[in-house]
Chain A
Amino acid sequence: MGHYIIRRLVISIPVTFGIALITFILLNVIPGDPVALMMKDHISADVVARVRAQMQLDDPAYIRFFRFIWNALHGDFGVSYKLNRSVSSLLMDAFPNTLILAISGALVSWIIGIPAGVLSAVKKRSFLDNSIMGFSLLGVSIPVFWAGLLFQYIFAFWLGILPVSGFDGPEYLIMPAIVLGWSSAGTISRLTRSSLLEVMRNDYIRTARAKGNLELKVVINHALKNAMLPVVTVMALQVAGLLSGAVITETVFGIPGIGRIAVNAIQNRDMPLLQGAVMFTTVLVILGNLVADVLYSLLDPRIKYD
């Protein structure tokens, strides 16, 4: 087991490296001088040259790439062009907000998704099942930003019970968490349903029923435990989805998180900040995938990796 985790960790290193390379290439092939962009056009050429030298932009691309990797390994992602602060401190300030948002979004999706999926599997092909599955498809299909605006209109403007946007207390988290969690709830409930239906076909379920157990007890004690395997894995994989969704949710609700930083960095053409935000988020996603794989092998000892 420990062997597997180590191997899996080792594999994530080249993947992370490759992602850094892709990000670097994408962000460094932009036509136009970042310094000139940053300073507009009323700056003399020698100042531009001096700043370029200071930012070491005149070195060949591969040297800049390895410098970027070296510095990133030391937690240094450079300095934001626009805000003139170190990228890592900006990211560290924003990260807790994104984390809180993602966790509460995930909680919402589990609280809605798992019971809904169980209900719909138990009452297979009923009206309840059809409506739950319809709703979950609706959840997957709703544009997150639009759902956010709709919530703002209904709960903040019309009913006036929740704050429109900002991040000053728990009540500010309610709408963003529901909006963010809603779409993953759809995925979770569909997965729970199909997984549970699959498990319910097994012989040991028939045995449990034959012993005279209540159907509810059969489902909870015997079926659910095994059915939750793929669901738990997807929960860890959800991190990626939630972080992507967080970009939009943070923009709509004005939450100062990583996603908001990335969007602002694009608007200000702030390359180091965008590069840092992308790398940071992607490393989190890779870690999420790693946790998912490890969890899966821990929960199901039948799975062997070699």
Chain B
Amino acid sequence: MNIAKNMLFKKEIIEPSDELVKETFWQDVFKSLRKDRMAMAGGTIIALFILVAIFAPYLAPYNPYEVSLDLQFQKPSMEYWLGTDMFGRDVLSRIIYGSRISLLIGIVPSLITMLIGIIFGIIAGYFGRKTDFIIMTVSDMVLSFPSLLLAMVVMYTLGASLLNIFIALSIVGWAGTARVVRAQTLSLKNKEFVESARAIGVKPSIIMIRHILPNCIPQLLVLFTLEIPGSILSEASLSFLGVGAQPPASSWGLMVSNGKEFLFNAPWVAISPGIAILVIVLAFNFLGDGLRDALDPYLKQ
């Protein structure tokens, strides 16, 4: 061991031996995640849904858009596992195709939300003062809106379509992420490694991306996983209220909404797509919870 170096730092330097650095942070996280049965179940279900969404044309027994009025409201049977709806369309096939919309709606707005939130949060936290004040005031305002109502207003203005749901959910969602990233940035920006980077003249943008952002990733990962079910539920709610996906798209929320008129005659039309929503949202919530526990050693015990 280098004694001079030790004295210089006035601290004992532990040489990385094989025994100490057996596993990286992420390996450790993954290990404890694998022990969490609920999280693994959630992960498996999500993987299954992704496969279903990708291979929808091969898995769906019927054409989800094909209208045949003589097949209206067929009860669930061997032929039509989940029955048919008011236009004689196969409910199972529509749910299979609907998984594409729901996963897309879950993931894309969450990604946009994350990106906007990270940019604003890191800038607010790093620069502080006026910048911080302005960004945080706007995010306070956005957070004060009941999110569904704000999304409804945006959909009213932009008109109901899939792309506009992305926009609406992104406008609503970024503020929460920005808060988390800002808080993390505030606690990091006075740490030694950031100060030394600043001292040797690293540009603020590089400091933010290289030194601060990587330290926010654990929180962001949990936030992202828990943001997805929120987006899926919001889309379903918007579509249910008639300001989301438009017919003939087979969004699950829209399917429930269409089926509600015939709830007492043909309950399967409204009930089965709801189960699909519930299962995927639950799966993401289980995975997100597991991730949070795995990433937070304090709660792990």
Which residues of A line the B interface, CB within 8 A? 14-15, 18-19, 22-23, 26-27, 29-30, 134, 137-138, 140-146, 149-150, 152-153, 157, 240-241, 243-244, 247-248, 251-252, 262-263, 266-267, 269, 274, 278, 281-282, 285-286, 289
Contact = CB atoms under 8 A, between A and B. Distances in A.
Contact of B240 (A19, A141, A248): A248
B149 interface: yes
Contacts of B154: 26
Contact of A18 (B138, B241, B282, B285): B138
Contacts of A262: 149, 152
Nearest to A20: B141
Most buried by B among A146, A153, A157: A146
A244 B282 contact: no
Interface stretch (B63-71, B182-190, B273-281): B273-281
B55 to A, nearest CB: 25
Contact of A281 (B149, B233, B256): B149
B260 interface: yes
Given A27-B157, A149-B256, A153-B264, 11 more contacts: A15-B144, A143-B233, A143-B237, A145-B237, A146-B271, A262-B152, A269-B156, A278-B153, A281-B149, A282-B145, A289-B144
Contact of B144 (A19, A134, A153, A157): A19
B153 A143 contact: no
Contacts of B285: 137, 140-141
Contacts of B32: none
Interface in B259-301: 260, 263-264, 267, 270-271, 274, 277-278, 281-282, 285-286, 289
Contacts of B145: 19, 22, 278, 282, 285
A153 B265 CA distance: 10
B103 interface: no
Contact of B270 (A18, A26, A137, A149): A149
Given A143-B236, A281-B146, A152 B263 contact: yes
Nearest to A17: B141
B253 A15 contact: no
A187 B142 CA distance: 21
Contact of B146 (A144, A157, A243): A243
B76 interface: no
Contacts of A251: 240-241
12 contacts: A19-B145, A22-B145, A27-B157, A137-B282, A143-B240, A145-B240, A146-B236, A152-B263, A244-B147, A244-B148, A247-B149, A266-B155
Contact of A150 (B157, B271, B277): B271
B243 to A, nearest CB: 6
B229 interface: yes
A282 B267 contact: no
Contacts of B140: 15
Contacts of A150: 271, 274
B79 to A, nearest CB: 24
Interface string B222-244: 00000001000100110011110
B106 to A, nearest CB: 13
A153 B156 CA distance: 31
Contacts of B144: 15, 19, 240, 282, 285-286, 289
Contacts of A247: 146, 148-149, 152, 241
A152 B142 CA distance: 34
Nearest to A241: B146
